[in-house]
Chains A and B, each alone.
Chain A
Amino acid sequence: MSAQIFPRNANAIFLASLFGLVMLIVGTIAAMVGFYLSPWYTDVGVAKAQPVPFSHKHHVSELKIDCRYCHATVEKAAHAGFPATETCMSCHSQVWTTSPLLEVVRTSYQTGEPVVWNRIYDLPDFVYFNHSIHIAKGIGCSSCHGRIDQQQLAAKAQPLYMGWCLGCHRAPEDHIRPREEVFNMEWDVNSLSLAERQQLVKEYQIPTDGRLTNCFVCHR
């Protein structure tokens, strides 16, 4: 009879540590997924500091300025663009001319040095995105950028994950609205019935045969 090298509870310890190892792996994966979806990683809802504390709430919600006044290319080009310094100065040469918050804008206007805004929405360089097609097909700014008119400092409303783009490309009828309402921040999707929205999808000739989820639509 050979000697017992393992103590009596060796089996239990082995099983417990096996269990512990599995839990550790599962836990690590769960924590990483959680982190990936959390605002610490995605920046959703986290306002960034800007060279000028520009407020959309003030200019859009209270002063009722149209998005196109500042993001003028959004209907025609891939990029919505940031307003030129002249755009701010068309008003701020005459209103709030001495505000210290606008010092950066005035200096930029005098020297020609652009104001460098910190980007909030920024896709990876391997993704192609185009604003004009979405605007032309009745996808409103608020469907993607949320209620930016309620934000003092702009913050992300979407992590811009691929699954989110695909979700809408599979079922645009869940988000579509009439073209005239694209710039309306208060539009509620449910103010049209599903049937009416499906009708819009047809009217705007949005392909529903799955073409929109082909990889090369966004990775070209």
Chain B
Amino acid sequence: MKYSIRQSILARVVRLAWLPLCLVLVACHVDMYDQPKYKPNDVSNFFPDGRAMQPPPANTVPLNSYNPNSPLMTGRVEGQLADQLPPEIKLDAALLAHGQSRYNAFCAPCHGLVGDGQGVIAYRGPMTVPSLHQDRLRTVPIGYFFDVITNGIGRMYSYAARIPPEDRWAIAAYIRALQLSQNTDVALLSEAELERVKAGR
């Protein structure tokens, strides 16, 4: 009697003996982890430059309603720098707030948060960065800033690849606001505004 109970326990244990084999299965499933497809930033051995993410050929334009020659995309009206925001861009507080966040991310490291050319990188040197508060830059048409961001100038690189045209206009508008903030006649400020300026100091 005792004997057979023990036998059936043993038989049960033996029946489950395949379980440890599962451990072997767990580790062998990398096929779906690395599927034969490209994801952004992958390395490719098909293209000669090794990039899965091929840069678009020169002069490519987006396939939608964009007109590549419109003021929105070029900053120019009939070949001259635009002196107004293009019709697609509406000037309001949201645009300036958006411009501020872009300016602080992309321009402030060099031009400084207020545009005085004393950003962290410029301050540490040896790169020197001009102030945005020169008389010349106060009077240029607004399209000039768009043009500088798009094409770069002198030692400054183009930011066209990282900042889409709408954002470039937002930055240009914000630069105008910065210029106003650094060059306002004290007599024009109201009493309350004066208090805030003093408190800010």
Contact = CB atoms under 8 A, between A and B. Distances in A.
Contact of A91 (B20, B127, B163): B127
A50 interface: no
Contact of A93 (B23, B37, B40, B155): B155
Interface string A8-45: 00000000001000000100110010000000000000
A125 B155 contact: no
Contact of A28 (B23, B33, B37): B23
A81 interface: yes
A46 B126 CA distance: 35
Q: Is the interface of B mostly helix, strand, loop or mixed?
A: loop
B65 interface: no
B127 A113 contact: no
Contact of A82 (B35, B39, B41, B162): B41
A125 B35 contact: yes
B50 A114 contact: yes
* Interface size classification for chain A: 20 to 34
B126 A113 contact: no
A68 B109 contact: no
The A contact surface, by secondary structure, is loop
A66 interface: yes
A89 interface: yes
A69 interface: yes
Contacts of A81: 40-41
Interface in B97-117: 104-106, 109-110
Contacts of A69: 105-106, 109, 162
A70 to B, nearest CB: 9
Interface in B9-37: 13, 19-20, 23, 26, 32-35, 37
Interface string A179-218: 0000000000000000000000000000000000000000
A126 interface: yes
Contact of A79 (B19, B32, B41): B41
Contacts of B51: 114
Interface string B177-190: 00000000000000
B161 interface: yes
Contacts of B125: 95
A82 B39 CA distance: 13
Given A79-B41, A87-B162, A124 B105 contact: no
A14 to B, nearest CB: 8
Nearest to B102: A68
Contact of B23 (A32, A68, A124): A32
Nearest to B163: A72
B23 A94 contact: no
Interface string A73-107: 00000110110101101110111000000000000
Contacts of A124: 32-34
Contacts of A119: 41
B121 interface: yes
Contact of B49 (A82, A91, A113): A113
Contacts of A94: 126-127, 155
A154 B127 CA distance: 27
Contact of A89 (B33, B50, B121, B157): B157
23 contacts: A25-B19, A29-B23, A64-B109, A64-B120, A66-B104, A69-B162, A72-B162, A81-B41, A82-B41, A84-B161, A86-B158, A91-B110, A95-B124, A112-B49, A113-B50, A114-B49, A114-B50, A116-B43, A116-B50, A119-B41, A124-B33, A125-B32, A125-B37
Interface of B: 13, 19-20, 23, 26, 32-35, 37, 39-41, 43, 49-51, 104-106, 109-110, 120-121, 124-127, 155-158, 161-163
Top 6 closest pairs, chain A to chain B, by CB: A66-B105, A72-B162, A125-B35, A90-B157, A94-B127, A124-B33
